[in-house]
Structure 1
């Protein structure tokens, strides 16, 4: 199956599948709950292209098994409950015994595995078990194996840490673009030459969003310009995570930031502060809805919005 991200590299593989160059039994998009709308638009675009070319491979959309609303739910759960597991690679500052603040490291990038790769594996497993008439907790027959193609490119080879699925012994992972020595730029060039969408896949609050001058195709400015309310939400999460960390109730001892400069987003983009006022009502409505959801689902005593 193809772990489809809706961005550039995995769409390169998807188009190769449509052309008969790679075979897939399933195309699976795992919704992280925090993709920008333009990524969902690209997913729709590729679903439309699939119909145009007459490809009939099942194109499925799935999500995290217990946090169906994805990364936003994880963050809200972390903020409003005693949930301790933090699954994003935020930049950190550390405080030494003298109270001096120093630049620290970065938390592990667990979100890709937990909210993208694992849900794809689980969805594929469910599909096969259903076809075989087996219950979800029954044993997979010994004569069945899975290969999940991941769209990491050669310049991302450092992201590869295993070919064996830790979750299922009968699943393996493969990285066709790495094997072909294809880089991210190679995939983007392929898409451009064919007139296909080229926006990079990532979440709107991803710490790997960078400044435009770094020219890696992912930047905060694109979020600000394309989806200002998503940026307002990112500003809220950015500040709230440090507020929660300061209470001392979390395992996390470092001071977290979403921006690589290890500064609040409001300091990095002071000229965008007007957005907070422009979307104040919408943000309040969003928070009320989330707080009700977290309270109902996770039994949290959520404080009223101040």
Structure 2
């Protein structure tokens, strides 16, 4: 058996040897800059897609220290972050003032569903809207009616509710900077490089360096280029006494059990934000109720928990206590959403879309 030191040598990470880099799925920032210059785009704006969590905070602090340059820092509010992530965002905005950094620090959101993932889910539940952009765990039913564990839906929410809004906001700011209107074209010599805080251990999440929406926007992954892991970023923040909570949404299916030790768990949501946990349980139940009606394209049975069991059963004791404690808040929250969805997307209080085609 190989000694631990020998094994470590085999496990050494180098993005240049990774299949995704060798296959051209992503490029280094230097390569992107050279590519733009060859296209005649010599005015390049550098943007940080800030998520409020560990990796993008690592990059932000590097910017404050002059180790990496950004023209814009943009946080896209998904509408489902726990309060502690918003608190970290404000902490970093305060630190920016403390260190005297003047880079524009902007907050944006989805262009049509301004209230984010909660609005998307409510729209899905209360209208005939068919698009579902979360990586839920699924069970499938075969021809004999037997239920079997399936896979997961694609993780499109990060792109749609974080990365795309950042692109749109950056484009808007640069158009204004050049004295142009929102529907005008970006000048031919202008380009954008948006840094995404994926780390080397998340290299599987990298699908492209080219923005499918805009040919003058490219995506870079500086922590991958540095062969830095999530744990490296956490240690960097810990050493400096900075916040270290991982960015995620309170209902994210990638929340796991604490013993899985991936930095995100349902127990943290239950302890830190019990009201958010109650909402997650409600969404978890409603998604299966809607799927059972047969009115949605999705035929798989969705679950927010990796065990493919209802959240309210996985954490039965906690749910029993919290659902009782937040009974009034839940009833009021549902009523407010029904009114909002009815006014904006045409759904009635009975949860049925009555008029118009809003399934786009």
TM-score (norm 2): 0.84
State how far apart, in whole Å, the 2-side matches of 1:167 and 1:148 are.
Answer: 13
Q: Are 2:119 and 1:73 aligned?
A: yes
Match for residue 291 of structure 1?
338
State how far apart, in whole Å, the 2-side matches of 1:288 and 1:82 are.
Answer: 19
Match for residue 87 of structure 1?
133
State how far apart, in whole Å, the 2-side matches of 1:117 and 1:91 are.
Answer: 23
Match for residue 265 of structure 2?
219
Match for residue 14 of structure 2?
none
Identify the match of residue 15 of structure 1 among 61, 82, 87. Answer: 61
Match for residue 3 of structure 2?
none
Cα deviation for residue 139 of structure 1 reads: 1.0
Identify the match of residue 348 of structure 2 among 262, 279, 301. Answer: 301
Cα deviation for residue 299 of structure 1 reads: 1.1
Q: Looking at CA atoms only, which structure, 1 or 2, has the larger radius of gyration?
A: 2
Match for residue 29 of structure 2?
none
Match for residue 52 of structure 2?
6
Cα deviation for residue 140 of structure 1 reads: 0.8
Match for residue 31 of structure 2?
none
Q: Are 2:311 and 1:255 aligned?
A: no
Q: Map of 1:1-306 to 2, 5 A cutoff?
A: 1-272=47-318, 273-303=320-350
SS at match of 2:207: coil
Q: Which moved further from structure 2: 156-165 or 126-135? A: 126-135
Deviation string 1:155-207 (CA, Å, 9 cap, x unpaired) is: 00000010000010000000000000000000000000000000000000000
Cα deviation for residue 133 of structure 1 reads: 1.5
Cα deviation for residue 267 of structure 1 reads: 1.1
Query: In the comparison of the two structures, how many residue pairs are matched?
Result: 304
Could you tell me which runs of 5 or more consecutive residues in structure 1 were left unpaired when the two chains were aligned: none
Cα deviation for residue 302 of structure 1 reads: 2.7
SS at match of 1:151: coil
State how far apart, in whole Å, the 2-side matches of 1:218 and 1:241 are.
Answer: 22
State how far apart, in whole Å, the 1-side matches of 2:131 and 2:183 are.
Answer: 25
Could you list the runs of 4 or more consecutive aligned residues of structure 1 that deviate by over 2 angstroms after TM superposition? Answer: none
Deviation string 1:104-138 (CA, Å, 9 cap, x unpaired) is: 00000000000000000000000011111111111
State how far apart, in whole Å, the 2-side matches of 1:244 and 1:266 are.
Answer: 17
SS at match of 1:55: coil
SS at match of 1:266: helix
TM-score (norm 1): 0.99
